[in-house]
């Protein structure tokens, strides 16, 4: 079975949010309006508002590489997990 290209795994979601939180903690600009100070919570809010500017590259077992459309994948994740 092939994993759909517009679907994120829970591990990818955790990695996206944690990587963005790290970026925020070292001074990256915050992409949403919020009064929150905790980088993890800010990153989670950015994820929920689909504002995280990242690219996901998957390497499949056969060596093929896939670039995931983060906007579509995030939207699908939010629809399935809320």
Domains of the chain, residue spans: 10-80
| In the predicted structure, residue 1 carries a pLDDT above the cut 80 | no
Q: What are the pLDDT digits (tens) for 12-67?
A: 999 999 999 999 999 999 999 999 999 999 999 999 999 998 889 988 888 989 89
* Homologous superfamily in CATH for domain 10-80: RNA polymerase subunit, RPB6/omega (3.90.940.10)
Whole-number Å distance between alpha carbons of 71 and 77: 10
Mean pLDDT of 4-19: 91
Taking CA 59 as the corner, what is the angle to CA 75 and CA 43, rounded to the nearest 5 degrees? 40
> Each residue of 44-58: pLDDT tens digit?
999 999 999 888 998
């Amino acid at each position: 079975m092939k994993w759909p290209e517009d679907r994120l795994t829970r591990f990818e979601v955790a990695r996206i949010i944690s990587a963005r939180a790290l970026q925020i903690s070292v001074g990256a600009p915050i992409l949403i309006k919020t009064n929150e100070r905790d980088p993890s919570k800010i990153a989670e809010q950015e994820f929920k508002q689909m504002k995280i500017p990242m690219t996901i590259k998957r390497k499949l077992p056969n060596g093929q590489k896939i670039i995931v459309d983060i906007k579509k994948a995030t939207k699908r994740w939010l629809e399935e997990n809320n």
